[in-house]
A and B are shown apart, each in its own frame.
Chain A
């Protein structure tokens, strides 16, 4: 498997429970935030995004919460499934600028 999962904080969750993955960002000028999922042997895959004029956005089984006051982002996965096992990255994008800065990632392990 890929070595990308080494040295990462790991979250272990029982199948069916909800998962919460947290991320702190650094740039106050960032106005666009994205969560990516990376499965073993694959590239990062877009999950959900949120703009800074929102504090919550929901997708299918996923919710992203943004707290600009403390520069914190979280990804909530409802009813976690074995297929959710992966490394999750948050990314921030300053306004009007294509450069994206990625967090180091969190490994989610789903226990059957």
Chain B
């Protein structure tokens, strides 16, 4: 089944403790992206990647890092999480061709205390 898989689904952590949220897709998609979703603010893009070893900032990149060492994986790294990063995070991928829709994972609910 074609899918985008995120782990973990739920994560509670403390301020400053480094964490990684993994994302993997099995559709051989070139484009991958991370979003955060907050009430009243909708989906905002954190980082995206057009292909292996190619990443770029989205609208809200501060406090986040990503890497794209292989095509299927696009982990999101929070080196020093803060409470304002408490949010619902989604990874998405697409074929990267023009006019191709995004396929989303089921989300990671992160709480930073």
Interface residues of chain A, those whose CB is within 8 Å of chain B, are: 2-4, 6-7, 32, 34, 36, 41-46, 49, 51, 89, 91, 93, 95-96, 98-100, 102-105
Contact = CB atoms under 8 A, between A and B. Distances in A.
Contacts of B70: none
Interface in B61-101: 88, 90, 92, 94, 96, 98-99, 101
A-B CB proximity, top 3 nearest: A43-B104, A7-B40, A104-B42
Contacts of A43: 4, 90, 92, 104-107
Interface residues of B, number: 26
B39 to A, nearest CB: 4
B39 A4 contact: yes
A95 B98 CA distance: 8
Contact of B39 (A7, A42, A89, A100): A7
B37 interface: yes
B98 A45 contact: no
Contact of A89 (B31, B42, B45, B105): B42
A93 B104 contact: no
Interface in B43-60: 43, 45, 48, 50, 58
Nearest to B6: A43
B42 to A, nearest CB: 4
Contacts of B103: 46
A78 B41 CA distance: 29
Given A3-B39, A44-B90, A98-B31, A49 B45 contact: no
24 contacts: A3-B39, A4-B39, A6-B40, A32-B98, A32-B99, A34-B101, A42-B106, A43-B92, A43-B105, A44-B102, A44-B104, A46-B101, A46-B102, A46-B103, A49-B99, A49-B101, A91-B102, A98-B50, A98-B94, A99-B45, A99-B58, A102-B43, A103-B42, A104-B41
